[in-house]
Chains A and B, each alone.
Chain A
Amino acid sequence: NAGVTQTPKFRVLKTGQSMTLLCAQDMNHEYMYWYRQDPGMGLRLIHYSVGEGTTAKGEVPDGYNVSRLKKQNFLLGLESAAPSQTSVYFCASSPQGLATPHQETQYFGPGTRLLVL
């Protein structure tokens, strides 16, 4: 099992450009998450998905969109990148996704470093 993988590993964008970050998991997990991590701050939840075809907003959703067309993939889109979106982006997944998502271990991908100039 590859676990959780993220593409790309690193990207530089100019302000206003768009891009999509891809997250894939091969563990048949129900829940998937997108976080950003900035210096001096904890990981902040951007969006999450409780199953194929569903998405929900997290703590900092503005400026991002997501899609979960297939169970194994969770895409994070930046329509018009801004310097404030320079960050490290982590995707995660968790297995059960029933009534107790808050009790579940999250498995993280290796991260994508994004620099917006």
Chain B
Amino acid sequence: RKEVEQDPGPFNVPEGATVAFNCTYSNSASQSFFWYRQDCRKEPKLLMSVYSSGNEDGRFTAQLNRASQYISLLIRDSKLSDSATYLCVVNTNTGGFKTIFGAGTRLFVKA
């Protein structure tokens, strides 16, 4: 089993739709969680950190469920420019620094 798992998609949604991605992780000692966005043939860029209390940044909402060991990303009112691959990242510093990237979920937003 992979340490961090994501549904690879692709998710094909129309503009204006709401779409949600989940990411599960296996290490219960994981400490920090992030969503990164990666455009085709480009480098990953931070979208948002994920906190236990949940956090929102405009149309994007991230949630963490430690009991079930998953994080989620909700995108409301999808734009064409949201088309990208979304990477889930899980970090821990217990027993040494470790950062694990999920393989990513591809999103296509169409007009």
Contact = CB atoms under 8 A, between A and B. Distances in A.
Nearest to B46: A105
Interface stretch (A11-19, A38-46, A62-70, A71-79): A38-46
B103 A41 contact: yes
Contact of A43 (B32, B44, B46, B96): B44
A48 B96 CA distance: 12
Interface residues of A, number: 24
A42 B46 contact: no
A101 B94 CA distance: 11
Interface of A: 33, 35, 40-45, 48, 50, 56, 59, 90, 99-103, 105-106, 108-111
Contacts of A43: 44, 87, 101
Given A43-B87, A109-B43, 18 more contacts: A35-B101, A43-B101, A48-B97, A56-B96, A56-B97, A101-B93, A102-B92, A102-B93, A103-B49, A103-B91, A105-B34, A105-B49, A106-B44, A106-B46, A106-B99, A108-B44, A108-B45, A110-B43
Chain B interface size range: 20 to 34
Contacts, number: 57
Interface string B32-56: 1010000000111110010000000
B51 to A, nearest CB: 11
A101 B102 contact: no
Nearest to B6: A42
21 contacts: A42-B100, A42-B103, A43-B87, A44-B101, A45-B98, A56-B96, A56-B97, A90-B44, A100-B93, A101-B97, A102-B31, A102-B93, A102-B99, A105-B46, A105-B49, A108-B43, A108-B44, A109-B43, A110-B42, A111-B42, A111-B43
